[in-house]
Amino acid sequence: MVEDRRTGPANAITDVRGLRVGHAQRTADGWRTGTTVVLAPPEGAVGGVDVRGAAPGTRETDLLDPRNLVERVHAVVLSGGSAFGLDAAGGVVHRLADAGVGLPVGGPGECVPIVPAAVLFDLKRGGDFRAVPDAELGAAAYDAAAAAPAGAAPPAGAVGAGTGALVGGIAGGVGSASEVLADGTVVGALAAVNGAGSAVDPRTGEVYGSWEAVGGEFGGLRAPDAGEVAAWGGPAEGGLAAQNTTIGVVATDLGLTKAQAGKLAATAHDGLARAVRPAHTMVDGDTVFALSTGEGPAALEPFQRVLGAVAEVFARAAAHAVVAAGDGPHARSYRSLFPSAFSSAFPDRAD
């Protein structure tokens, strides 16, 4: 546990000024999937991306290459549904355009919203292979983000893009975390955890990302009883557990260039690899976006401090996703497999 650091007020990516998060999901009649939107301020945020998995499903990632034209993005979409789920971004694009938010390309009201997206594989987790996010669900997630109070912590667990998630054969989900550095700079992360690897140490039953805990953020989470670990039997392999991908967004209020944002996204993957083992496999499309809401470029020393924090913040976000998830028709949760890990101080599940 890290003692000399502190989280933001919400311990979430929304501690980065100007960012809001909204989820939308469907869980009945063959559905178990959803979409999450990270909404930037109206003027946008400088964006970057890093793709490490061998099976990615993405939209607008080439635009975030520092050699290319557009500097700012207006939202990031994380979604279930594999390649089908990329349709959710269209609903967000139209909502933003209706609000007059986007890259100006003509006269009044003529703008093109820039909305990168990534998807994870959760097909058939609710029973129906083609029950996938669409533009309507993306618009609903945008509406939830737009209506969220500034700084509000987004729900965690089996919500939004993490609704049908699996990680190592147990229920995955969405989680978030933040850190406030000594100079007041904020670093935040949001992760939708659906990895082929495990988020749980098979020797001890501990959640890997919880080892990075700041203060008492996990409410007394502890190593579970040995009997529960033995009954679990370790991470699942094959089957639906091999259809995966962990996706996420990291953010800071330190002003960055596109190249610096890309480096921030790349460093966040170190946190993904701490939280899910192994990560970046041939059946994962692991992708992390980065957003900066400040004015760049950043000087070397403050940028180094942000890079030093982002991996731990992402790992903590991934841990919150796993411990907040509940049982579903697709998998048992960490909470139900390891009840002895939870003290009475641990908060109730958000999903």
Radius of gyration of the chain (CA): 19
Domains identified in the chain and CATH numbers: 13-341 (3.60.70.12)
pLDDT at 345: 53
pLDDT in tens, 35-66: 999 999 999 999 999 999 999 999 999 999 99
Per-residue tokens: 302: 């403050």
Per-residue tokens: 34: 């959803």
Contact 71, 255 (CB under 8 A): no
Terminal alpha carbon distance of the chain: 26
| Mean pLDDT over each residue of the chain, to the nearest integer | 94
Contact 74, 113 (CB under 8 A): yes
Report the predicted TM-score, pTM, of the whole model to 2 decimal places: 0.95
For 343, counting Cβ atoms within 10 Å of its Cβ (0-12 exposed, 13-18 middle, 19+ buried), the class is exposed
- What does residue 115 show for φ and ψ, rounded to 5 degrees? -135, 90
- Local confidence band at 116 (pLDDT 50, 70, 90 cut-offs): very high
pLDDT in tens, 211-230: 999 988 998 899 999 999 99
DSSP assignment, residue 16? S
- Local confidence band at 77 (pLDDT 50, 70, 90 cut-offs): very high
pLDDT in tens, 161-172: 999 999 999 999
